Amino acid sequence: MKEELTFQNRDVLLKGTLTKPDINVPRPVIVVTHTSNAGTRNFSVYQHLTRLLPPYGIAVFLFDRRGSGDSTGDFETATFFDLASDLQAAIDHLKLRGDIDLKRIGVWGMSQGGWIAPLTASKSEDVAFVIAVSAVGVSPAEQMNYSAEYELREKGFPEEAISQMLEIRGLVNEYFRGKIERSKVQKKLDVFFKEAWFPFAYLDDALPENPTVEKWYQEMDFDPLPIIQNIHVPVLLLYGEQDPWVPIAKSIEVWKGQGPDDLSVHQIKDANHFMVSISHSGIRGGNGPQVEEYSTTLIRWLNQRLG
């Protein structure tokens, strides 16, 4: 059973779809939050939950992120706290319904959503559990250094090139933080722009005149550690076998060291960032079958927590 819902967070109007099991009692629900590059509810990696979970009595709510699909607002100016507020608004809307079990509302977030879902849980008394897929346990600045280094190594660049890339990324970040003047960093950019590795460094060739209006300025130093320390509900972490965007070992270390007592961590063989089979779609592909071990691990954990 599917039902279209509309809810509001201040001046942002958000639209989504609730997929419910065909049972006549209040049921648990999982509210989904988004990766950075997939803001609409029709993304296949979100949609698989609507097929997987309702047969087990669990509803799924997918909504279009602000500025995406049928939702209003501007994603490009939204902070992580804005997105967490949207997720809380979705929960608040579901709490008004008689067919939702208010004590069993969970959040599921993938990639960037692996920052947003825990952030919401750390601030809300309504979230009963968290499922974080490919969740990054470090700041966006550190994560992007990892991603660029992964790409350069994958393409066979030497250590000297990797050192240059990390140097210029560090200088650019310091400019965004207001700690170094623009001309000094731009001069370095002009030199490194000619290098063969530069197109894979996730950098623009020109610095913005005013970095404070850029999205990177808002996000780069977001620290997930205090949020992880403030979560006191069960958490399931799921990581792929390989991930070009997430430092898996470091993220697991942070969560295990600072996360809640009820923490389950699983690294899924042959799964990529999207829990899609590497054998089918490579380490970056989002289209293809979800790895069966991911699905069975998710269902087993939910059955243990929800009954």
Which pLDDT belongs to residue 26? 95
Give the tens place of pLDDT for each residue, 231-264.
Answer: 999 999 999 999 999 999 999 999 999 999 999 9
Q: What is the mean pLDDT of the chain?
A: 97
Residue 29 has pLDDT above 90, yes or no: yes
Average pLDDT in the 163-186 region? 98
> From CA 194, how far away is CA 240, in angstroms rounded?
34
Which pLDDT belongs to residue 24? 83
Give the tens place of pLDDT for each residue, 35-48.
Answer: 999 999 999 999 99
| Contact between 66 and 78 (Cβ < 8 Å) | yes
> From CA 217, how far away is CA 246, in angstroms rounded?
20
Residue 184 has pLDDT above 90, yes or no: yes
Provide the residue ranges of all domains of the chain, joining segments of one domain with +.
Answer: 2-139+223-306, 140-218
Residue 307 has pLDDT above 90, yes or no: no
Which pLDDT belongs to residue 218? 94
Answer left, alpha or beta for residue 199, where phi above 0 means left and psi between -120 and 50 means alpha. alpha
Superfamily of domain 2-139+223-306: Alpha/Beta hydrolase fold, catalytic domain (3.40.50.1820)
Which pLDDT belongs to residue 258? 96
Which pLDDT belongs to residue 288? 86
Give the tens place of pLDDT for each residue, 72-125.
Answer: 999 999 999 999 999 999 999 999 999 999 999 999 999 999 999 999 999 999
Please name the residues in contact with 135: beta carbons below 8 A apart, sequence gap of 6 or more: 109, 111, 114, 115, 117, 118, 237, 239, 246, 251, 255
Give the pLDDT band (50/70/90) at residue 163: very high
Give the tens place of pLDDT for each residue, 11-24.
Answer: 999 999 999 998 88
